[in-house]
Amino acid sequence: MSHSIIKSALKPLLLLAALFAFAVSAYTSANSADASSSDQQYSKVLKVAKKHLGASYVYGAVGPTHFDCSGFTKYIYKKSIKKSIPRTAQAQYNGTKKVSKSNIKKGDLVYFGGSKHSISHVGMYIGNGKMIDSQNRGVITEKVYSPWWHVVGFSRPATLSYD
């Protein structure tokens, strides 16, 4: 085989390799930008949530000084990143993208109750098995898996997508 035939056969392969390298680089860059954006958004939500630690629980309250559980989650997402989520815990569960326990991320919502059709409580996951929520002791940080809570599921508000 002559040198020119080998050269002409290699040209399309080299072009394909260069295009592949460019695509991988663009994909990696876009995903790290998305993760960075998600991290920044979570930081904003967490900052607003922490600012309200100690606020008192009042059934039906939506803030800024008193909250019920879903009033708290609705308030912190709206106030921090302008993300509007439904008002009640059940509506938040029904209206947001579900994630599995193995894929839970900081900023995801954690739901409690008898089943996915009878959600009675919601909190925001903050990592290490903990959440910030508003319950009878007010806005506190507590463990997700406690004897008094039955975890039903998890969801991720669209603007905090880690996909």
- Clarify whether 69 is annotated catalytic: yes
- Clarify whether 108 is annotated catalytic: no
Out of 52, 66, 108, 121, pick the active-site residue: 121
What is d(CA 124, CA 77) in angstroms, rounded to the nearest whole number?
10
- Residue tagged 């947001």 (tokens): 96
Answer for the pair 70, 124: CB distance below 8 angstroms, yes or no.
no
- β-strand partners of 117: none
What is d(CA 80, CA 32) in angstroms, rounded to the nearest whole number?
22
Residue 142 has φ and ψ, to the nearest 5°, of -150, 170
Cis link prior to 64 (omega < 30° from 0)?
A: yes
Q: Comparing C-alpha atoms, which of 87, 91, 103, 109 is closest to residue 159?
A: 109
Out of 52, 66, 68, 69, pick the active-site residue: 69
The 8-class DSSP code of residue 103 comes to: G
- Clarify whether 34 is annotated catalytic: no
Q: Comparing C-alpha atoms, which of 143, 123, 142 is closest to residue 133?
A: 123
Q: Which residues are catalytic?
A: 69, 121, 133
